[in-house]
Structure 1
Amino acid sequence: MTRSVVVLLDPDHPYAGRFSEVCDRLWGVGTVCVYTDTSRWERAHAATWFARPRAVLAHYSAESGSLASAAEDLRRRHDVLAVIPHNELRVEPAVTLAEALGIAWADPNDVRRFRDKSALKQHLRSVPGGPRINATTAVRTLVDVRAAQSEGRYERFVLKPNDGMNNSQIGFFSSLSSDTEIDTYLAGVGGRLLVMEEFLDGDEYCVNGQVDDLGHVTIVSVYRTHHIAANGRTNLAASFESVRHDSPIFASTATYAASVVTAAGLRRSPFHMELIVDDAGPCLIEVGARLPGAGQAHDVATAHAGSVDAFELAAQHYLGLRAMHSQTPNWEAYDSLRLRTICGISDRTERIASVQGMEHVEAMPEFVRWVTRPSIGYRVRPTIDLASSPWLVTVSGSSHEHLDEIEGRIRHVLGWNGSGATRTGRVRQGYALLAKAGARAQSIPHMVRTRPASLAV
């Protein structure tokens, strides 16, 4: 009997390996990897993300043609149950391939809007009785920006790529910003389509959850984002801390998040939402139709004492299969454990030659996991967004104050040598700143360095 499979596109991220493992372990479903860029194949082979390499039945290259035409060849070769978008950049191509295969997990147009910030907010504003949404305008030039300002809605505003992620390339401006300031930012983003948004002044939160086939929303976690000013950025994420389920802020942010994904029409998908809470209540910053990053997807099972696993829950809905066990949040366990992911901050460019303090961090009873481990040979650069954090580590604590104390200890002991200079002192300086502010089928074996076979496209 032909073994059913899921397709992973360009699986150059650890979440891809986790999805492959879950599908094989729970349902006996194999994995087929399709690469639109062979450089990603090289990266996947260099990593150890696939804990069950025998579950990976084939690797294919689709570089030479469209995903729609690649679907025909996949359909001939495999019984494909789902195409799983394991991270933000795979959402749109995954739903395109799934649509061509006739197995899209949700309305493809609804899913694609999640990669178009301006279109999504425009849609949400059009829904009768929909959630609160701030003013936004799609812009590309200084003329566009000034025209939007003339409408009187942008005393303070934010510019960012319309399809951006990881809080990258974000600019903060006001009515007093000069043409030169705005033009400098525009030149830096290289003519990309941007979304201009009304600035929201308040505390930032993340809400994570899952939508089923009927549109029912399950919230699994809420986090508070703590920011600092560093490296010329005023909103650099320093840490993410879980919010208790029994707190009023959890209730208000969870209710708002559910209203957003309902109005957006999302189905059978996880979601990660970032929002601001100001005097008027919660308001959307942006939302992704995928699992959260920064370790928060792994935190779900930890926080709920194993009663919910974000990867298993998402895979169940992507595949449309029966759950192998109940995925019910354990809020008593969740409230008994506070989690915080701490983001490393670098102030210069260099290559790590040695690391100090990792053993000390791992020996702490509060240590949970490395999200990104500082590694020898890694090239660090000044941290300006989440993607450029040199390390991320998740810890647990009994209170906000306890987590503050743990974070202080970690930032004090964790450092590295690079380019002939010791990093430890600069890490301490950064803390002072914080205080202030597969089976071989007809395939290519997973761990054999052979180019993936081309699909007939």
Structure 2
Amino acid sequence: MSYVVIVDPFSTGKLYAPLLNTLGLSCIAIISRPNLPAHFTQDLVPGHFTHVLDWSPEAAHFLDALGVQAVIAGCETAIHLTDRLAKQLGLRGNSPVTSGARRNKYIMQQALEQRGVTHIPTRLVTRPRQIAQALEAVADGRQYVVKPINSAASQGVVFATGREAVAQALGSAGWEQKNDLGETNLGFVLQPFISGPEYVVDMVAFSGQYHIASVCRYTKIRRNGSPVVYDSLDTLDPADEALAPLLAYARQAAAALDVAVGPLHMEIIWAKDGPVMIEAGARLHGGIAPQLFQQVYQPDLLSLAVDSYLGRPAPAGPGYSRQARHGRIGFFWTDRPGTFQGPGNERAAATVPGYGGHRYFVSPGSALPATLDFATCPGLFWLSHDDPDQLDRSAEQLRAFLWGH
């Protein structure tokens, strides 16, 4: 029997085991730490695994004796342990020496700078007493971003203009608070705000060769005083020559982060001087994106990630997947606090051309804050269609049927 270990098989990491099972491989789940939040651990499907083990040195000895074929990072919380365990078991993986470059928002910018890749000048603030020194580099009238170095999505991100606002943002930040991953905030980065369209590039590494699995562009809107309310994420064609500089930059950045095996999810701003990485994570794109990509791209992100972890060669061809259809993820938002009354007209939504599904992040009767970022986004839907113009019409219908806007 051949085994594959999946560390923290949560979020989109839960998609690996069913696919691996169909390939005749048995999966073992390793839970990296005991205090992971319930909204993560509820993704675990015990029936997909022969063993579900809490991490311990004894677990490592058990795996070594059993013999495993690969170690996979299920989600953000798994990055460090996956790298260490793969090395300990003598398996292909990313170096544990550089794990921080694939998880810590300060270290990853330093890694780009050290390799001469375009980066964002970043100040690290790990103690409140360091705020005064950090403010010395802040220019009045310029906009900045303050965000936790080990959070996920846009949780804890604050935009501030000028020294006084930056001082307030740092002073009121969630020092030593738990983030959505159940991790304690280790500190904050202070960065100048970089403007421009935002893209997401998902790559899969095959011994340092990077196959582009998907390219998407975010549309964010200003609502409720926040500039980062999500409106949509649209898939793009990697073969589009206009995207060539973006993809070339993404590959350079991936090399700087020392990604040798598995997927890399990278967020990039295409600024006036060219692309620059905002942050990256050595795991699958989160949410429902991998399922949407299965309808849009050939080969798709999930199957490519499995091939990489299993030591299979990169696909022959141009180094990127083919776009077979157009896809979109649309997001709901709430303009004022209230209470979620329950699902909208789901029967009508199912008749909308290209409808793939929808998901609410809240349950009936629960409180709804005003939407400020992805952490406060109440739900989403997804679409795919041969006609890109149909996505606009269908998105408008779905928002009306499912959310009332």
TM-score by length of 1: 0.77
Of 393, 401, 405, which aligns to 1:413?
401
Query: How many Å apart are 1:301 and its aligned residue?
Result: 2.4
Query: How many Å apart are 1:317 and its aligned residue?
Result: 1.6
Whether the 8 Å CA contact 1:83–1:94 is kept in 2: the answer is yes
Task: Name the counterpart of 2:136.
Answer: 150
1:30 aligns with 2:26: yes
1:224-246 superposed Cα distances (whole Å, 9 cap, x missing partner): 11111234421122210112334
Of 156, 168, 173, which aligns to 1:186?
173
Distance 1:285 1:137, change over 3 A: same
Paired letter, 1:279: K
Query: How many Å apart are 1:274 and its aligned residue?
Result: 0.6
Query: How many Å apart are 1:377 and its aligned residue?
Result: 4.5
Query: How many Å apart are 1:133 and its aligned residue?
Result: 0.9
1:354-387 superposed Cα distances (whole Å, 9 cap, x missing partner): 31222222221211233x3467558453233324
* Larger relative contact order (CA 8 Å, sep ≥ 6): 1
Task: Name the counterpart of 1:262.
Answer: 255
Distance 1:378 1:268, change over 3 A: farther
Of 114, 124, 131, which aligns to 1:138?
124
Whether the 8 Å CA contact 2:122–2:190 is kept in 1: the answer is yes
Query: How many Å apart are 1:217 and its aligned residue?
Result: 1.0
Whether the 8 Å CA contact 1:35–1:41 is kept in 2: the answer is no
Distance 1:320 1:198, change over 3 A: same
Task: Name the counterpart of 2:307.
Answer: 316
Query: How many Å apart are 1:285 and its aligned residue?
Result: 0.5
Whether the 8 Å CA contact 1:212–1:269 is kept in 2: the answer is yes
- Counterparts of 2:360 and 2:318, CA distance in 1: 29
Task: Name the counterpart of 1:276.
Answer: 269
Paired letter, 2:391: L
The structure having more radius of gyration, on CA atoms, is: 1
1:21 aligns with 2:9: no
**Structure 1: unaligned runs, 5 residues or longer:** 416-426, 429-457
Paired letter, 1:288: G
Of 195, 214, 217, which aligns to 2:189?
195
1:28-427 to 2 correspondences below 5 Å:
28-36=24-32, 53=47, 55-62=48-55, 67-76=56-65, 78-127=66-115, 130-141=116-127, 144-151=130-137, 155-178=142-165, 181-187=168-174, 190=177, 192-213=186-207, 215-304=208-297, 307-321=298-312, 334=323, 337-347=325-335, 352=340, 354-370=342-358, 372-373=359-360, 376-377=363-364, 379=366, 381-382=368-369, 383-397=371-385, 401-415=389-403, 427=404
Identity %: 22
Whether the 8 Å CA contact 2:268–2:278 is kept in 1: the answer is yes
Distance 1:327 1:413, change over 3 A: farther
Task: Name the counterpart of 1:434.
Answer: none
Distance 1:231 1:72, change over 3 A: farther
- Counterparts of 1:375 and 1:37, CA distance in 2: 26
TM-score by length of 2: 0.86
Q: What do you get for the CA RMSD once the two structures are aligned? A: 3.1
